[in-house]
Amino acid sequence: MSETRTFGIVAEYGDVDSVMAAARRIRDAGYRRWDVHTPFPVHGMDDAMGVRPTILPWITLGAGLSGLGLSILLQWWTNAHDYAFLISGKPLFSLPANIPVAFESTILFAAVTTFLLVFVLNGLPRFYHPLFRMAKFKKATDDRFFVAIEARDEKFDPGATRKLLESTGAASVEICEEPLDGQVLPGWVKFVGVLGITLAMIPLVVAYRARNAKTDTPRLHLVGDMDFQPKYKTQAASPLFADGRAMRPQVDGTIARGELRENQHLELGTVDGNFADGFPVAVTRELMERGRNRFDIYCSVCHGYGGQGDGPVALRAKELGEGAFVAPTDLTDDYVKKQPAGQIYATIRNGIRTMPSYAAQIPVADRWAIVLYLRALQRHSDASIADVPLEKREEIK
Amino acid sequence: MKVSPENIIELSERPPRLGEQAPALGRRALVVGCLLLIAGLGLGFSGHHGLAHVLHAWLVGATFVLSIALGGLFFVILQHLTAAGWSVVLRRQAEMLASLIPWAAALFLPLVVVTLLGHAELYPWADHAWAAADPVVSKKIGYLNGIFFTIRMALYFVVWYELTRWFVRNSVAQDRDGDPQRTVRMRRSAAPGMLVFALTSTFFAFDALMSLDPHWFSTIFGVYFFAGCAVAVFSTLILGSLALERGPLQRIVTVEHYHDLGKWLFGMVFFWGYIAFSQYVLIWYADIPEETIWYKHRLHGGWQYVSALLLFGHLLVPFAGLLSRHVKRNRAALGFWAVYMLVLHLADLLWLVNPTIGGHGESEGMVFGLTDLLLWLGLAVTSFGVFILRAQNQPLIPARDPRLDESLGFENQ
């Protein structure tokens, strides 16, 4: 047996009432380092022992508030400051969008902190406790109640403390010894701990190396059949055909569905290679209305409802003031006014310089409707009173 | 301050009841309430918005009373559902609150009749010609019409009445026969009961409150209304216990019960905010005019102040105020927050209802005044009178509930 020293004095009780009474007396006697062990939670014991309120709630509150503040800071920094990124036209820094994350982080910080602190404040994890050396103490999980006053308490005095406990009606009072070297971790626990920490570093080291080294070997493909699908991409080569191309050109003398461009004026906006003036379709009121509807949907975002190049995209771009932006053309400008209808049609169909083609979204008939409406906008842009029918002039005065 | 076994036997033999002065108090409340109602109606009908204002104010007041009753029903079902022990001494109060449902039905009757007669001052869809001509509402006529509305309203109240009757009847019968099987039976019916409660209260909220603006819809609206009910009932239970603790429930309701009621109130205040924000953030994000219009009405013409009041007053301030354990265990502080939350609950209902006074779901700015206050107060005070007159018939606690001693000796860890 190794050398021992006194851990404290332990008293045993047979029922709740006597252990409660004992706790009150020890509290009143002014002891600080002592504890009560019971097989089940006893209501009112905190009070009887004079346990002071824990500071845990305050720390939880602080952690929650830190989570709140940090998450808002993070969102401001990432989205509004360091890499300003416009999402859904919302302000770069907008509280409503930040609240879900802020809310979750508040809870996360508060909960994790509380969880960890419950262990820390309770002195856990702890591999060993001297009380476990007492055979009797096992009954603390069954039907006995124990009070242990520790020797490190300032008021502890072997004789007086023992007397106090005996006078509280304890069933037995015993001294609990603890070995001097009792607090040392067994060697194998240390070994497992060090091993675990070392192993846990490996992934970090591998990741660090991979990020900072160059290599010729291709990366690992974990999901091979997603990365390598059995298909040909546009412009890919294929050994299957004599010309080595996977894409097949149109067979001579055939026309794909929907690609018969018999009426050049209608389809391309040209007659004999020149832009055609005039409309290849009947100009009606319905066509005009349709044109307005399509223009408002497809073109106004950039060119504006009036066609003057002041759509929301243009305004926003101007506000951001990034150099490379080409402003949408003012469609009521003389330069566009003078263009034949076929040319404007071709702009929609093929796109022009920085403006993309709208052929995929807008079918042929609608393109002409838009051209027609555009003509009306252009006309409107420099209309005078002479353009208004006599009978309507009164109304607009 | 534990109740000993002998005391429990005495309690179950001579359970606490309301004092002798109760009937007089109830009758006085009825008289005062009726006077207030007459004043409110007179003022309202002579006012600028006439019938429309009266109907809206009445809807707010009646919904206020109903929300407490529904909250009571929810509380009762929940305690059975979870086989809760702590709350037994409070359950009878909630049962009596839930018993106000027939009275609340009477309060809604005038609104339903007016709508059935085709007056569109409250629910614009009651105007058939307008509804048929409106491109959106015309698609909803099959649901939003006077007859089907009346049928649904009747259905909700009948379902709630039957639910309440089942739980209250068993509970009161247990006072007499002490049969523990009743507790088992009530627990078994609690789960389906809760399901039915959730569905009916959701659709009630759609019909009675959301259809004030028949263009607008929000699927979370029912939960929002329910959150208000929960806030209302926990406030009411706190106030009821405070009042009764001075008399018959002395030493039966303890600080531990207030602590738990306080936790609930705190939780429900935050739940309300969570749901309110969930509704707001989706609409804010999607930014579709047909949805944002509802908030637009509530962010202009004076309503923006009420919106701000709700954000701060109904969520942030009481959240901070109720956070601490010391507040929940302090009768005066908790009582203050209970009164405060009831007032804010009224403001919430006002905010839901009054912005549609303009007719056809349009807002006319801030229409709110003495008429509202008089009518709300009148409805609340008469309901209080009815509550007292009915409450004197039963003991104030389920005196032979098998878990009564658990509740009496309950302590928070």
Task: Tell the burial category of A141 from Cβ atoms under 10 Å away from its Cβ (0-12, 13-18, 19+).
Answer: exposed
Residues from chain A that touch B288, judged by Cβ atoms under 8 A, are: none
Full DSSP string of A126-195: -S--GGGG-GGGGGGGTT-EEEEEETTSTT--HHHHHHHHHTTT-SEEEEEEEETTTTSPPHHHHHHHHH
Residues of A with a Cβ under 8 Å from any B Cβ are 41, 43-44, 57, 61, 88-90, 96-97, 99-100
Q: How far is A352 from chain B (nearest CA, A)?
A: 32
Question: For chain A, what is the domain count?
Answer: 2
pLDDT (tens place) for every residue of chain B, 413 residues total: 455 666 777 787 788 888 888 899 999 999 999 999 999 999 988 888 888 899 999 999 999 999 999 999 999 999 999 999 999 999 999 999 999 999 999 999 999 999 999 998 899 999 999 999 999 999 999 999 999 999 999 999 999 999 999 999 999 999 988 899 999 999 999 999 999 999 999 999 999 999 999 999 999 999 999 999 999 999 999 999 999 999 888 889 999 999 999 999 999 999 999 999 999 999 999 989 889 999 999 998 899 999 999 999 999 999 999 999 999 999 999 999 999 999 999 999 999 999 988 777 677 778 888 999 999 999 999 999 999 999 888 899 998 999 998 898 888 86
Residues B3-19 as b/e (b if ≥16 CB within 10 A, e otherwise) read: beeeebeebbeebbbbe
> Which residue in chain B has the smallest CA separation from A88?
B285
Residue A236 in domain: no
Q: Does residue A171 share a domain with residue A301?
A: no
Mention every residue, 6+ apart, whose C-beta is less than 8 A from residue B53: B44, B47, B357, B367, B371, B372
Q: Among residues B301, B305, B307, which one has the least CA distance to residue B366?
A: B301
Q: What is the distance between the alpha carbons of residues B99 and B160, in angstroms, rounded to a whole number?
A: 9
CA distances in angstroms from A358 to A257, A258, A268, A370, listed in the order given: 20, 17, 13, 12
Whether residue B281 and residue A44 make contact (CB cut-off 8 A), yes or no, is: no
Domain housing A130? 1-197
Residue A118 in domain: yes
Q: What is the distance between the alpha carbons of residues B116 and A10, in angstroms, rounded to a whole number?
A: 80
Residue A208 CA to its chain's centroid (Å): 24
Q: Does residue A274 share a domain with residue A167?
A: no
> Which residue in chain B has the smallest CA separation from A98?
B281
Q: Does residue A159 share a domain with residue A31?
A: yes
Residue A235 in domain: no
> Most A CBs within 10 Å: which of B3, B284, B316, B412, as the mutation test of the A interface?
B284
Mention every residue, 6+ apart, whose C-beta is less than 8 A from residue A314: A302, A303, A304, A327, A328
Q: Does residue A291 share a domain with residue A148?
A: no
Q: Does residue A91 share a domain with residue A178?
A: yes
> Most B CBs within 10 Å: which of A43, A55, A60, A106, as the mutation test of the B interface?
A43
Picking from A88, A89, A99, the nearest residue to B281 by CB comes out as A99
Whether residue B277 and residue A89 make contact (CB cut-off 8 A), yes or no, is: no
Whether residue A96 and residue B285 make contact (CB cut-off 8 A), yes or no, is: yes
Q: Among residues A235, A358, A350, which one has the least CA distance to residue A299?
A: A358
Q: What is the distance between the alpha carbons of residues B57 and B51, in angstroms, rounded to a whole number?
A: 10
Q: Does residue A7 share a domain with residue A150?
A: yes
Whether residue A89 and residue B325 make contact (CB cut-off 8 A), yes or no, is: no
Residue A216 in domain: no
Length of chain B measured in residues = 413
Look up the CATH number of the domain holding residue A339.
1.10.760.10
Q: What is the distance between the alpha carbons of residues B398 and B168, in angstroms, rounded to a whole number?
A: 10
Residue A276 in domain: yes
Contact between residue A299 and residue A366 where contact means Cβ atoms under 8 Å apart: no
Whether residue A88 and residue B413 make contact (CB cut-off 8 A), yes or no, is: no
**What is the H or E stretch that residue A75 is in?**
helix A56-75
Whether residue A96 and residue B280 make contact (CB cut-off 8 A), yes or no, is: yes
Q: Does residue A154 share a domain with residue A8?
A: yes
Count of A-B CB contacts under 8 Å: 20
What sign results for the dihedral spanned by CA atoms B367, B372, B373, B376?
negative
What sign results for the dihedral spanned by CA atoms B102, B105, B110, B116?
negative
Do β-strands A274-275 and A145-150 pair in parallel, antiparallel, or remain unpaired? unpaired
- Kindly report the backbone phi and psi dihedral angles of residue A224, in degrees, each rounded to the nearest multiple of 5, phi listed first: -60, -45
Residue A41 in domain: yes
